[in-house]
Amino acid sequence: MRQVLKVFVLLVWIVPLAWVETLGATDKPFVIGFSQATTTEPWRLLFNKELRTEAAKYPEIELIVRDGQDDAQKQFADVEEFIEQRVDLILISPKVAGALTPVVNKAFDMGIPIIVLDRDLANKRYTQFIGGDNKLIGRTAGQYAVSRLGGEGKASGNLVEIWGGMKSTPAHDRHEGFAEVISKEPGIRSLVVARDGDWKQDLGYEIMADALERFDKIDLVYAHNDPMAYGAYLAAKDAGRENGIVFLGIDAIPAEGVRWVHEGVLTATFLYMTPGAEGIRQAIRLLRGEEIQRRVTLPTMTIDRSNAEQILLRHGLLSDEEDDKTEEHSKLIAERPSMPASQSGGAQ
């Protein structure tokens, strides 16, 4: 009997202790695990910041953030840990599609709600996807390129396309949307074969440096994100050939892509909003028992010389001197969209 009592007393102590341990010593009712692919690019840091800021508005959630460190295996292990911890909901922005699909499916099959952010997976066995429409962004960039190269039906020039991570869905969608438009222009010649730029500035530099060595005439560079477009610009500058080349990027974060457009380094960039804030909003709705859509699409916009300054002003990123010059313009500043303009897909 004494033995039974001992076991009972032990259980009374250990079980609640273990419970507190899993919840990260919190009495908050919901634990959300967020698995981020990497924190090596400014866009990812902004993403984390927006996600944390939104999460801080909801006292009922505890947020655990893990950095996959640009390594799919590490990210896989991070999600497995969330599953073992039995968190209430998982948010993931996967580094690559193929290698991370199984662990997302595992969470989903075990009944843990899982929301996929920004990069999609090899199948749709997850709760929800939130991200930009990368095909639309690619098409918009394609139309912009055509207009800069002479206009519809008569565009001509030599093009270098710099791919993002070839194992991730945004790179393929950005390519396909762009190719859809460009392929209708026989005067546009694509110079280089697709090579993985892994979204990195230094690889953008390398790919462009090779192209500059091989081709005397390059008219337009389309890079799948701003850091690679900037890397390509630096390569052209080092070769003394930056003038006369149109550089297009994607992301448009104010302190980076928009600033480069304002400085005349990039010709244009296309907004790719981070899904950080929307990810938390959707997670909260789900945890509160509301119905959520299968897919939430974030809006985009074009940023070039016509609006870059206004965006920088609004973010307090211009000096006073520049500020004075454009005082009257500041009144016309258009708000950056903060809510999805279009949403597609139905209930699960």
Binding pattern for the stretch 269-308 against ligand FRU, x by CB under 6 A and - elsewhere: ---x------------------------------------
Sheet holding 220-223, edge to edge: 188-190, 157-162, 220-223, 246-251, 268-271, 302-303
Closest to 101 measured CA to CA, from 119, 83, 81? 119
Number of residues in contact with ligand FRU, rule: CB under 6 A? Answer: 14
Should residue 70 be labelled a site residue for ligand FRU when binding is judged by CB under 6 A? Answer: no
Closest distance between ligand FRU and the C-beta of residue 84, in Å?
A: 27
Closest distance between ligand FRU and the C-beta of residue 223, in Å?
A: 10
Contacts of 213 by beta carbon, 8 Å cutoff, 6+ apart: none
Comparison of 199 and 233: residue with beta carbon closer to ligand FRU: 199
Q: Please, are residues 310 and 329 in contact by the beta-carbon 8 Å criterion?
A: yes
Nearest residue to ligand FRU by CB is 199
Q: Please, are residues 253 and 226 in contact by the beta-carbon 8 Å criterion?
A: yes
Q: Nearest 5 degrees, angle CA 259-CA 262-CA 267?
A: 105
Contacts of 153 by beta carbon, 8 Å cutoff, 6+ apart: 185
Secondary structure letter of residue 256 according to DSSP: I
d(CA 308, CA 18): 53
Closest distance between ligand FRU and the C-beta of residue 259, in Å?
A: 15
Closest distance between ligand FRU and the C-beta of residue 168, in Å?
A: 6
Question: Which one of residues 36, 68, 87, 119 is an interface residue with ligand FRU (CB under 6 A)?
Answer: 119
Comparison of 38 and 101: residue with beta carbon closer to ligand FRU: 38
Q: Nearest 5 degrees, angle CA 246-CA 248-CA 249?
A: 155
Question: Which one of residues 68, 142, 157, 170 is an interface residue with ligand FRU (CB under 6 A)?
Answer: 170
Should residue 118 be labelled a site residue for ligand FRU when binding is judged by CB under 6 A? Answer: yes
Closest to 64 measured CA to CA, from 107, 35, 25? 35
- Which region, judged by CB under 6 A, interacts with ligand FRU, from 20-28, 162-170, 201-209, 282-290? 162-170
Binding pattern for the stretch 215-254 against ligand FRU, x by CB under 6 A and - elsewhere: ----------x------------------------xx---
Should residue 44 be labelled a site residue for ligand FRU when binding is judged by CB under 6 A? Answer: yes
Closest to 82 measured CA to CA, from 65, 57, 70, 96? 65
| Burial status of residue 248 (CB atoms within 10 A of its CB: 0-12, 13-18, 19 or more) | buried
Should residue 309 be labelled a site residue for ligand FRU when binding is judged by CB under 6 A? Answer: no
Question: Which one of residues 30, 43, 126, 163 is an interface residue with ligand FRU (CB under 6 A)?
Answer: 43
Binding site for ligand FRU (CB under 6 A): 38, 41, 43-44, 118-119, 164, 168, 170, 199, 225, 250-251, 272
